[in-house]
Amino acid sequence: MRLPLSILLGMSLLLAGCGSKPAVVDDHAGHDHEAEAKEGVAKEAGHKEGEVHLDAEQAKIAGIQAQDVGYRFMQSSIGVPGIVNSTTKGRAVVTPPVAGRVVTINAALGSKVRQGQVLAVIESPELAQTWSGIADAERSRDAAAASLREAKSEVNLSIAKLSAAKTNQTRQRDLAKAGAFSQAPVQQAQSDLNDAQSDLLSIQKEQASHAEVVRRLENLYRDGIVSKADLDAAKLELQQDQIKLDRAKARVDSAKATYEREKNIASRGLLNAKELQAADADVKSAQLELDRARIRVRSAEATVESANLAISNARSVYKANTAGGSASVGRVNLVAPIAGTITHLDITKGQAVDRTQVLMEIENLSSVWVTANVPEQDAAKVRKGASVSITISAMKEREFTGVVQIVGDRVDPKTRSIPVQCLVTGSLGELKPDMFATVNLPYGPGTQSLAILQISLVREGTENFVFVKSGDHYQKTLVTLGTQSEGFVSIKSGLKEGESVVTKGAFILNSQLKKDELKGHEH
């Protein structure tokens, strides 16, 4: 782990003061001045070549950590170059679902967004028209539903009428069998005649009374006791009585004729057939009305179904125009299809946009692809589902773990390699698209080997070193490496089991060692 520059400089100053004071050279001793200086530096340094001394406090400040060397299961692997790419689920382009004009922008380049978050609002006349189509279809559906309810009510009423007509038909048949129709009309005609004759008699009596009043008024008028107006009023009332009398006589004549007719019909038995025919006609009429009402119901149901289909189609068009996003009348919300970071933004307020225009790009780098180019002669060693370790050129001290997901079927004719895609999850956005990587692909059965963490290594040219801790002393030691696997590397030579190797802070120790060497050269 690399420490910040300020701490590193502080460590360098601190470590620079850890040695003894420079040796004093005796010019009169007769020895070679340069040899004595080198010898004095070596003695006063207090350690062997390639060794750094730090007390406990200094080691703590420098963040030095060590771990004992031991055996672990190591599997052979091949290191091949690779490149980081975003996954199909980890990258999304945002395009407007419908043509329109941008009225609101809720995102900025580089900002993190969650899935479903509203990024912008687009106003669209096309969307407003589609919404109007839905409203029209719903109004048609409501009208058709009202017609259906009315038609069903007519059916219910017609059923009731038919039931009443059939009941009446049955009753009329029973009455006809009992001869009820032969007497009732005659009796009714007799009653009507009696009433007419009674009214005539009453009017005649009233007329006689009014005639007597007129006679008296005429005598009184001649004697000058009553006025001409009183006499005229009495005569007018008498005239009205005559009109009533004429009407009453006509009613009596009509009632007599009806009575005679009904007596004739009853004597011939014609009334029974008439009543039954009327009852049968009522049943047929009610049945015909019911049939017509049921036809209207079926027609109204078809209209409602058609209206519902029109609503469904209009809503489908509206949903397609909004791409499933929330919308209101003529506006649609542009939402983030995935959670991630906005890496591309090409949108301004008031801008006119169409469906093909890419407005934003969102990348979620929590999971990425690392595509390794495996030489064709090693392709047979790669197995789908195998766990691989990945290092990035820009982050040498970090190691990521991935899983082989796809092994290519074709050899690249230029590089003579096969692409192998490895999925890396939980990278927390540290792996960026187009980063160069080294992918260590395991193969073979594997063995128990002496191994250390890869971060313990100090590389100088073609050689690899580690710092072995012994008390307060840290000895730089050359090692020969073997197989790398899951952040560890096997050691062929240079270390023994149980030795304590620095796992963090090796860079600082190596820097201090080089400063000590430069100091020796200055002397």
The tens place of each residue's pLDDT in the chain, 523 residues long, gives: 334 434 443 444 344 433 333 333 333 333 444 444 444 444 444 457 788 888 888 888 888 899 899 888 877 777 889 999 887 777 788 888 778 888 888 888 888 888 888 888 888 777 777 777 778 888 888 888 888 888 888 889 989 988 988 888 887 777 666 655 556 677 788 888 899 889 889 989 988 988 888 888 888 888 888 888 888 888 898 899 899 889 989 999 998 888 887 777 666 655 556 667 787 888 888 899 889 989 989 988 888 888 888 888 877 777 766 665 555 667 878 888 888 888 888 888 888 888 788 888 888 888 888 999 999 888 888 888 888 888 887 776 677 888 999 998 889 898 899 999 999 987 777 888 888 998 888 776 777 888 898 888 888 888 999 999 988 889 999 999 887 777 788 899 989 899 999 999 888 888 888 887 766 555 5
Rounded distance, CA 389 to CA 403, Å? 9
pLDDT at 513: 85
Q: Are 22 and 42 in contact (CB under 8 A)?
A: no
Rounded distance, CA 120 to CA 337, Å? 13
Which residue, 321, 377, 422, 341, is CA-closest to 107? 341
Instruction: State residue 209 phi and psi, 5-degree precision.
Output: -65, -45
Which residue, 387, 375, 396, 374, is CA-closest to 423? 387
pLDDT at 21: 34
pLDDT at 323: 62
Q: Are 437 and 82 in contact (CB under 8 A)?
A: yes
DSSP structure class, residue 1: -
Instruction: State residue 482 phi and psi, 5-degree precision.
Output: -120, -125
Rounded distance, CA 212 to CA 445, Å? 148
**227 in helix, strand or coil?**
coil
pLDDT at 337: 84
259 CB contacts (<8 Å, ≥6 apart)?
Answer: 186, 189, 190, 192, 193
Rounded distance, CA 309 to CA 17, Å? 89
pLDDT at 77: 75
DSSP structure class, residue 376: G
pLDDT at 253: 92
| pTM across the whole model | 0.41
pLDDT at 419: 92
pLDDT at 327: 57
Q: What is the CA radius of gyration of the chain?
A: 58
pLDDT digit string (tens) for 274-311? 667 787 888 888 899 889 989 989 988 888 888 888 88
pLDDT at 29: 37
Burial 340-374 (b: 16+ CB within 10 A, else e): bebbebebeeebebeeeeebbbbbbbebbbbbbbb
pLDDT at 175: 67
Length of the chain: 523
Beta strand extents in 75-201 (DSSP E only): 77-86, 91-94, 100-105, 112-113, 118-123
pLDDT at 4: 42
Q: Are 72 and 488 in contact (CB under 8 A)?
A: yes
pLDDT at 52: 87
pLDDT at 464: 92
Place of tokens 């003579």: 416
pLDDT at 397: 65
Rounded distance, CA 516 to CA 475, Å? 13
